[in-house]
């Protein structure tokens, strides 16, 4: 009892920060529940990744290699990982709430007939887990029972695991995949091209809203600020819906949740659904021409101004600070 199986997601030959967060949360949960933290990695040709994963304090790395696992697909992955959880008797199956985590973990929960807690932000001592509900307007303390429990963690709520100085054993396990599971087929991935940091990994995020008025203005007005700060770019739903920027830039209750050192909201009113995705940022700056915009109620520093004037000025001032 108390063992935690962490699903280690990777991008190419690297683990994104979100995976390190899952490991950290998994280690903390295992410690509090008196079990071990194990990691599972699935795909094809994983030797390098598995060796790397073994360095982060887990007690074992389970490797699932199978041609059907080459591309991530929910049905095959759910089969293979659920089988590992059963075999190891892991009480918890855990991953970060990335697009894959959100897609896969409920499916594993159903297969294990287990309850599932989505996007937890803390682990309680008394067998409870804490998760936000109602766009972050309530924090629920929840309890689950049964032999298996499934959990996704919110990436911004936990630290990243660090190398432990030792290396765990690596075990290759035969992947069990139902004959019926291979029906989903990967067709293509159209990656949003960007040289900027990833939204969920960046130290600074600059987001634009409907106030920017066009995709062109995102380029000519907002992007110079984004790049001067070395930031990732985000957006409100209104800006995405209007087609100013790609969908995966949406920050909020139903988009990405971020908590960078610095979040700059430009021309964003601060609807509750937007706040749900950024209000845990360390420092928040808002630039808006409406002094009553709700975004100011969470901003550490506010500037009531026309963004088309203020943002270029800010870029100039930043250049001065940099060169002084």
Partner 1 sequence: MKILVPVKRVPDPATTIRVLPDGSGIATDNIKWVINPFDEIAIEEALRIKEKQGSGEVVLCSIGQQSWQEQLRTGLAMGADRAILVKSDGALDTLAIARILTSVASQEKPELVILGKQAIDDDSNQVGQMMAEMLGWPQATFASKIELSDGKCTVTREVDGGLETIAFPLPGVITTDLRLNEPRYASLPGIMKARKKELKEIAVDSMGIDLTPRLRIKTLTAPPKREAGRKLESPADLVQVLHSEAKVI
Positions in the binding site for ligand FAD (CB under 6 A): 209-211, 236-239, 250-255, 267-269, 271, 273-274, 277, 288-290, 293, 306-308
Q: Whole-angstrom Cα distance, residue 314 to residue 122?
A: 37
Q: By C-beta, is 205 or 251 nearer to ligand FAD?
A: 251
| Nearest by Cα to 32 from 133, 120, 155 | 120
Min dist CB 51 to ligand FAD, Å, is 38
306 interacts with, out of ligand FAD, partner 1, none, CB within 5 to 8 A per kind: ligand FAD
Q: Which does 24 bind (CB under 5 to 8 A by kind): partner 1, ligand FAD, none?
A: none
* Minimum distance from residue 29 beta carbon to partner 1 (Å): 16
Closer residue to partner 1 (CB): 91 or 119: 119
227 by Cβ neighbours in 10 Å (0-12 / 13-18 / 19+) ranks as middle
Strand order from edge to edge, sheet including 116-120: 116-120, 149-153, 92-96, 4-7, 37-43, 60-65, 169-174
The secondary element (H helix, E strand) that includes residue 180 is none
**Rama region for 21: left / alpha / beta (φ>0; ψ in -120 to 50; rest):** alpha
Residue position matching structure tokens 């070395």:
230
| Cα separation values, 319 from 210, 227, 324, Å | 26, 11, 9
Q: Which of 200, 230, 322, 311 is nearest to 266 (CA)?
A: 311
3-class DSSP assignment, residue 176: coil
- Measured from the CB atom, is 36 or 253 closer to ligand FAD? 253
On the CB side of 41, how many CA atoms lie within 13 Å of its CA?
A: 28
Q: Is 47 helix (H, G, I), strand (E, B) or coil?
A: helix
**Beta strand pairing call for 129-133 and 122-123:** antiparallel
- CA–CA gap between residue 258 and residue 300 (Å, rounded): 16
Q: How far is the CB of 68 from partner 1 (least distance, A)?
A: 13
CB of 232 to ligand FAD, least distance (A): 15
Tell me whether residue 69 or residue 240 sits nearer to partner 1 (CB atom).
Answer: 240
Residue 308 interacts, among partner 1, ligand FAD, none and using kind-specific CB cut-offs from 5 to 8 Å, with ligand FAD
**Of residues 176 and 248, the one with the C-beta less far from ligand FAD:** 248
Beta pairing partners, 304: 288
307 binds, among ligand FAD, partner 1, none (CB under 5 to 8 A by kind): ligand FAD
Nearer to partner 1, 132 or 211 (CB): 132
Q: How far is the CB of 233 from ligand FAD (least distance, A)?
A: 14
Quick one: 70 or 213, whose CB is closer to ligand FAD?
A: 213
CB of 87 to partner 1, least distance (A): 18
Per partner kind, with CB cut-offs from 5 to 8 A, the member of ligand FAD, partner 1, none near residue 313 is partner 1
Could you tell me the smallest distance in angstroms from the CB atom of residue 319 to partner 1? 10
Nearest residue to ligand FAD by CB is: 252
- The rounded distance, in Å, linking the Cα atoms of 304 and 24 is 40
**Residue closer to partner 1 (CB basis): 76 or 168:** 76
CB of 117 to partner 1, least distance (A): 7
Residue 173 binds which of ligand FAD, partner 1, none (CB < 5-8 A, kind-dependent) = none
């Amino acid at each position: 009892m108390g063992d935690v199986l962490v699903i280690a997601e990777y991008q190419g030959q690297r683990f994104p920060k979100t995976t390190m967060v899952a490991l950290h949360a998994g280690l903390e949960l295992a410690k509090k529940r008196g079990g071990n933290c194990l990691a599972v990695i699935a795909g094809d040709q994983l030797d390098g990744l598995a060796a790397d994963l073994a360095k982060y304090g887990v007690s074992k790395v389970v490797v699932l290699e199978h041609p059907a696992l080459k591309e991530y697909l929910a049905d095959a992955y759910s089969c293979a990982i659920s089988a590992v959880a059963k075999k190891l008797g892991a009480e918890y199956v855990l991953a970060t709430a990335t697009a894959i985590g959100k897609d896969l973990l409920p499916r594993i929960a159903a297969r294990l007939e287990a309850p599932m807690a989505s996007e937890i932000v803390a682990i309680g001592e008394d067998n409870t887990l804490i998760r936000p509900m109602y766009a972050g307007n309530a924090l629920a303390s929840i309890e689950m029972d049964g032999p298996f429990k499934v959990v996704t963690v919110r990436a911004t709520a936990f630290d990243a695991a660090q190398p432990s100085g030792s290396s765990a054993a690596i075990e290759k396990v035969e992947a069990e995949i139902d004959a019926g599971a291979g029906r989903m087929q990967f067709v293509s991935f159209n990656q949003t091209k960007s040289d900027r940091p990833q939204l969920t990994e960046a130290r600074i995020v600059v987001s634009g809203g409907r106030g920017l008025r066009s995709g062109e203005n995102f380029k000519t007005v907002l992007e110079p600020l984004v790049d001067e700060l070395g930031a990732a770019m985000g957006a409100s739903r209104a800006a995405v819906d209007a087609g100013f920027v790609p969908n995966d830039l949406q920050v909020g209750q139903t988009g990405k949740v971020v908590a960078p050192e610095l979040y700059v909201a430009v021309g964003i009113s601060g609807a509750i659904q937007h706040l749900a995705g950024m209000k845990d940022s360390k420092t928040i700056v808002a630039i808006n021409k409406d002094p009553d915009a709700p975004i100011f109620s969470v901003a550490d520093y506010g500037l009531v101004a026309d963004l088309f004037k203020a943002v270029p000025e800010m870029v100039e001032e930043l250049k001065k600070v940099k060169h002084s």
